[in-house]
Chain A
Amino acid sequence: MATTAFEPRIVAFFCNWCTYTASDLAGTARLAYEPTAPVIRVMCSGRVDPQFVLKALQEGADGVLIGGCHPGDCHYQEGNYKTLRRFRLLKRILSQFGVEDERVRLEWISASEGDRVQHVINEMTDQLRKLGPWHARS
């Protein structure tokens, strides 16, 4: 059987106001980056239920990336602080489940930071290539 190189699959949850707009900007500016991270647009990073992250891993994602507005810049004032608290707690649970640190990542990326989207997705893709697939059983 032919073997193909492992290409990680990242599920990216980007907030409508900052990170999604930044990824749009990256596209407009023709910044090339790895095609590993299909984006799910949510109105706020605070909408990302920790269940979504676990569900993505359970259904075969190798990593999950959450993008939101910088602290203080949330369109809904407080949403990204809730995201941060959930994320810090979720990371502790993920480590008990044996999920490596690099697999689940939170980044603050403002609407003007298209290059940051490019950098983060490239870097995360590289890290996951080294880490290999996440085989969660269903």
Chain B
Amino acid sequence: MAEKPKVAFYWCASCGGCEEAVVDLEEQILKVVDAVDIVLWPVALDFKRRDIEAMPDQSIAVAFINGGIRMSEQEEWVHMLRKKARIVVAFGACAHLGGIPGLANLADRRRIFDTVYREVPTQEGQPGTFPQESSEPDGNRLALPAFWDEVKALDQVIDVDYYLPGCAPPPKLIWGAIEAILTGALPPKGAVLSPNKACCDDCPRKDSKPDKIELTEIKRPATHVADPDLCFLAQGFVCLGPATRSGCGNPCIEGNMPCRGCMGPMDDVFDQGAKFLSAFASILAPKTEAEIDRLLDQIPDPVGTFYRFSLPKSLLHRRRPGATV
């Protein structure tokens, strides 16, 4: 029997939801296991770094890597996987765009460190005890990975062949990608493996969107219950549908939650947050500066809302280091 193609799954700065998404393939996962040899999957199987290091370059057919890159160890792993794998797929919003961990780019290493180890009120243990990249307790040298000043998307660290978007990627898209790889029916390099049209295009509430929207109030899911049938934008909720790629199958909309933008932008958009900002500002009613500002005060964290999953891949990547404003 011919050797089965080798597949690796790896995780970086991520939550584990992307591993769940693989399990969500349900019985289809048996077909995957039949067709391929899984050589690395830290969440489920006990392979070590040295096992991968010992493999010849280019011997892995495809590496699915999820999570943003924010530590030296993650950087080492993805460089190694890039060498060993013929195809690298950025799996999920964090690897694709930086994702939720990427919101740390509004702060920096020092700020995060101070918050977690000095200022947080629930801190227990010995005050003044900080993790060190290198230490020698009782004469034994211990090393911890270095924590970077910013979070990066996978393609800001290594060359990426394909992107599977979403938080987490929908099983249908995962299966589609695996089938395409197994049969060799792959799109051109660099493609995002999901349809290139806006979420609104597939939205079950599409027909309820009026021709013209003029908002005088902005609502939040935390403070208002949305009508389950009407367009979220028409109701005054920030819904990122117009600036977000479709293919997710609308689970949020069906759960009566507006789109948060996890599938990322469509092709040709180079800044998802700015693109959404542009669309959203155009459906606000006020015409004077004072009235506009009053309405905008109802969005407490515009960057966190519009760039929730895409800050490291935005045009400015991060808050400017040392900024005073």
Contacts and interface: CB of A to CB of B under 8 A. Distances in A.
A99 B292 CA distance: 21
B79 to A, nearest CB: 21
Interface string A76-106: 0000011011101110110111111100000
A95 B106 CA distance: 11
B275 A57 contact: no
Contacts of B299: 89, 92
A40 interface: no
Given A50-B278, A81-B287, A93-B302, A136 B320 contact: yes
Nearest to B105: A97
Interface stretch (B66-74, B227-235, B309-317): B309-317
A114 to B, nearest CB: 25
Contacts of B222: none
B325 A95 contact: yes
A100 B106 CA distance: 15
A85 to B, nearest CB: 4
A58 B289 contact: no
Contact of A84 (B287, B306, B314, B322): B287
Interface residues of B, number: 35
Interface in B292-325: 292-293, 296, 299, 301-303, 306, 314-320, 322-325
Task: Tell me if A's interface is mostly helix, strand, loop or mixed.
Answer: helix
B257 interface: no
Nearest to B283: A85
Contacts of B322: 98
Nearest to A53: B274
Interface string B255-280: 00000000000000111011101101
A71 interface: yes
Nearest to B320: A98
A86 B278 contact: yes
A103 B318 CA distance: 17
Given A51-B275, A98-B320, 10 more contacts: A49-B275, A50-B274, A55-B271, A55-B315, A82-B281, A86-B278, A88-B289, A88-B292, A97-B323, A98-B324
17 contacts: A54-B316, A55-B271, A71-B287, A86-B278, A86-B282, A88-B281, A88-B293, A93-B274, A93-B277, A96-B106, A96-B301, A98-B322, A98-B325, A99-B316, A100-B324, A136-B320, A137-B317
